[in-house]
Chains A and B, each alone.
Chain A
Amino acid sequence: MILRVNTDMAAGGFGLGFAALLWLGGTDIGRLSILFPRAVLVILVAFSLLLFVKGFFRPGERSIEISGSPLRLLVLILLLLVWWFAIGKLGFVVSSFLIMLFITWFLARVEGPVSWKRLLLWTPIIAVMVGGFYSIFTQVLNVRLPSGLLF
């Protein structure tokens, strides 16, 4: 999918927005702690303004290309965020198993419809993968993974 975007202006705008966010978030900070961030903020604003203005007169790329399916991209972004929330609520094992199974099914559909048989075949593979990593991290590396409501 090709989107018409002036990338110079977009990048400059992002830099200005980021600088504004930190500028507003750094109002109650003492001199020693703000000395360096403020210097960098000023430089960032200068570069962003330059780029933004350049975008008006001598724009660089005028379009961006999202290669592949934007739907798959958005769904994966959503699933990653859901995974993050679900780990805290359901625990690492349950949430990872469910979301990994869903992502596998969702991405495998690129090659065509996924039969129940294939899905049933993948279930133990994913369970072993999640269980294996869970065991390595909790038993060998002594990392306590979130347990949540279920496990």
Chain B
Amino acid sequence: MDMLLEALASLMTFESIITVLVGVSAGLLIGSLPGLTATMALAVLLPFTFSMEPLQGLVALGAVYMGSIYGGAFTAILINTPGTPSSIATTFDGYPMARQGRAYEALAGATIASVIGGLVGVTFLLLLAPPLARWAVAFGPSEMFWVAMLGLTLVASLSSGSLLKGMIGGCIGMLLSTVGVSPVGWETRFTFGFPAMQGGIELIVALIGLFVIPELLSMAAEGRSNITESGEFGKAKVGIRQVARHILGKPVNIIRSCLIGQVIAIIPGAGGNVTSLVAYNEAKRFSKDPQSFGKGNIDGVVASESSNNVMVAGSMIPLLTLGIPGAPPDAIILGVLLMHGLRPGLDLFTESGVLTNGFILSMGMAALMLLPVGLLGARLIHKVVIKTPYHFMVPAIAMVTILGTFALRNSLLDVGIMMIMGIAGYFLRLIGIHAAPIVLGLILGGIAEQGYVQTMLAAVVDPIPWLRLVENPLSKVLAALVVLGAATAMLPAWLERSGRLDKGSPNRGDDS
């Protein structure tokens, strides 16, 4: 407790507050640019922290991380382009809201959810780090395989219209994740003679291509802007207080999303993209009005944004206690800790307790700072988006996506892959194969493969190797959850087909 108070005192300086403010603003700006991820924001701003004191450096990076994850929601809502992969699920309802002239409501909802999510994540991190980290160690390869499978049950609810088409999309995504060097055999696969393809298909490249390019093509074909024709920001209809009252009036949604975000965040490798998709799916599943999801339901935005901001602090639990990054940006934080001679583990909470607690508390401060910075930024960014004529908007977005894609690996091939995937994505959407299941397959394919192949390797002498996948009690629980998840996701479709549910139903997970 003394350490906590000491850490709090060390944060209450003008220098620290300015560092958090600048960090959140910079993170928000970078996160809102499609293609520039939280990892990239941290990597780009890392050199600026070299000359800082350890606490200041960590405070700055924590603020950038929090700001960039939140910043992804801006473009997700305004132009249907997730600024970071964590905001994929935000597009599902945020963008339809923006098109209905409810951009302000969506952005305010995202902001409040992000602040609450950020604060909840910090509280979890402070209170539960050691016991939860011990639990995370129990996740071996077979458990990771089932975690990936659990994520894939989402395909059923993201399939728009046809479950089979959704499954085909998920399989295509998983196969795309296998392009390049395999994670277990270390062989090059499916590169078709292009050595540059050995690096595989970067998730962000696919994400930009599948989400942005089809939208640009639609805008060009239809000769319209993607935001509401009347250009309304929507503030006149709904104010921040009403949005806050709506969100806090339905605490179950936000509590559930935060818990999902926290549980998934401590599993290494799962990341914010998985947390937001799972939280969105559960919000839809438990909603009294699931049909409205995908058509502009603020609860979908709240679920996605609260869970991905819980993940920011939540993923630090395995990092600070075990040195295992819970998400890719955490690897950079780990690098900074090591650079300053700080080794993850018990020492970080005892010998360097003031520093560690100061870092954790600074993330809480950054979460609070999202409210003023975010609401001000929302107006500015929306103004730019809404006032720009569509014939400027289309080439400008195309240029930013090209830049963002190129900057990931300095690769023109990535730009080509992005464009080809985007063009293919446009036509696939026409025949009913949507982007969301493909992206989900791409995210979870790598995790599933590693878990599956490692389990099979360990079971090479077993008479029935695949039984190893359900050998541990935890694996059995996860496998049962997969079956349960798949069944509950398919139940509405079955009920609808058998005539026991009203037709006319949901455009489920429409990513258009």
Is A29 touching B431 in the complex (CB atoms < 8 A)? no
Is A15 touching B171 in the complex (CB atoms < 8 A)? yes
> Interface on chain B toward A: helix, strand, loop, or mixed SS?
helix
Is B222 touching A14 in the complex (CB atoms < 8 A)? no
At the interface, yes or no: B399 with Cβ under 8 Å from chain A? yes
Q: Please measure, in the bound complex, the distance between the C-alpha atom of A129 and the C-alpha atom of B400, giving whole angstroms.
A: 10
B213 → chain A, closest Cβ, in Å?
7
Q: Are A47 and B222 CB-contacts (below 8 A) given A22-B190, A36-B453, A60-B432?
A: no
At the interface, yes or no: B161 with Cβ under 8 Å from chain A? yes
A18 → chain B, closest Cβ, in Å?
6
Closest A residue to B399 using CB positions: A96
8 Å CB contacts to B: which residues of A88-140?
88, 96, 99-100, 103-108, 110, 122, 125-126, 129-130, 133, 137
At the interface, yes or no: B510 with Cβ under 8 Å from chain A? no
Picked from B161, B184, B423, B433, the residue with its CB within 8 Å of the CB of A77 is B423
| A145 neighbours in B (Cβ, 8 Å) | 403, 406
21 A-B pairs in the complex with CB atoms less than 8 angstroms apart: A12-B168, A18-B175, A25-B190, A29-B189, A31-B185, A33-B185, A34-B189, A36-B178, A37-B178, A40-B178, A44-B168, A44-B171, A50-B164, A60-B432, A68-B221, A68-B222, A68-B223, A70-B221, A80-B419, A84-B419, A96-B399
A103 → chain B, closest Cβ, in Å?
4
Is A30 touching B431 in the complex (CB atoms < 8 A)? no
- 5 closest Cβ contacts across the A-B interface? A68-B221, A32-B185, A33-B185, A68-B222, A107-B391
| Interface magnitude class on chain B | 35 or more
Q: Are A73 and B221 CB-contacts (below 8 A) given A37-B178, A47-B164?
A: yes
B70 → chain A, closest Cβ, in Å?
20
Is B419 touching A48 in the complex (CB atoms < 8 A)? no
Q: Please measure, in the bound complex, the distance between the C-alpha atom of A88 and the C-alpha atom of B394, giving whole angstroms.
A: 21
Is B433 touching A11 in the complex (CB atoms < 8 A)? yes
Residues of A in contact with B (beta carbons under 8 Å apart): 5, 7-8, 10-12, 14-15, 18, 22, 25-26, 29-37, 39-41, 43-44, 47-48, 50-51, 54, 60-61, 64-70, 72-73, 75-77, 80-81, 83-84, 87-88, 96, 99-100, 103-108, 110, 122, 125-126, 129-130, 133, 137, 141-146
Q: Please measure, in the bound complex, the distance between the C-alpha atom of A77 and the C-alpha atom of B423, giving whole angstroms.
A: 7
At the interface, yes or no: B449 with Cβ under 8 Å from chain A? yes
At the interface, yes or no: B395 with Cβ under 8 Å from chain A? yes
Is A104 touching B395 in the complex (CB atoms < 8 A)? yes
| B167 neighbours in A (Cβ, 8 Å) | 43, 47
B284 → chain A, closest Cβ, in Å?
22
| B174 neighbours in A (Cβ, 8 Å) | 40
Q: Please measure, in the bound complex, the distance between the C-alpha atom of A31 and the C-alpha atom of B406, giving whole angstroms.
A: 34
Q: Please measure, in the bound complex, the distance between the C-alpha atom of A135 and the C-alpha atom of B423, giving whole angstroms.
A: 29
Closest B residue to A100 using CB positions: B395
| A99 neighbours in B (Cβ, 8 Å) | 395
Picked from B168, B190, B445, the residue with its CB within 8 Å of the CB of A11 is B168
At the interface, yes or no: B416 with Cβ under 8 Å from chain A? yes
Picked from B184, B394, B445, the residue with its CB within 8 Å of the CB of A32 is B184
| B402 neighbours in A (Cβ, 8 Å) | 83-84, 87, 96
